[in-house]
Amino acid sequence: LYFVAVATVAAFVGQHAVRKLIIILGRASLIIFILASTIFISAISL
């Protein structure tokens, strides 16, 4: 339950940060976010 809560908070914070990055940097940050999220998900599953 704790890990689910942390992951949910991290997802909301990450989503908010990524929206700002997309506005500032453009499309490239979206690709970086997808890569980071896949690494993050694989780290959680381990």
pLDDT tens-digit map of 5-45:
887 888 888 788 777 777 777 666 677 777 888 888 878 87
Q: What is the pTM of this model?
A: 0.38
And the tokens for 16? 């908010």
Number of separate domains in the chain: 1
Quote the CA–CA distance of 16 and 5 in Å, as a whole number.
17
Quote the CA–CA distance of 40 and 11 in Å, as a whole number.
10
**Higher-scoring residue by pLDDT: 46, 13:** 13
pLDDT of residue 36: 83
pLDDT of residue 16: 80
Quote the CA–CA distance of 43 and 7 in Å, as a whole number.
11
Domain region containing 25: 1-45
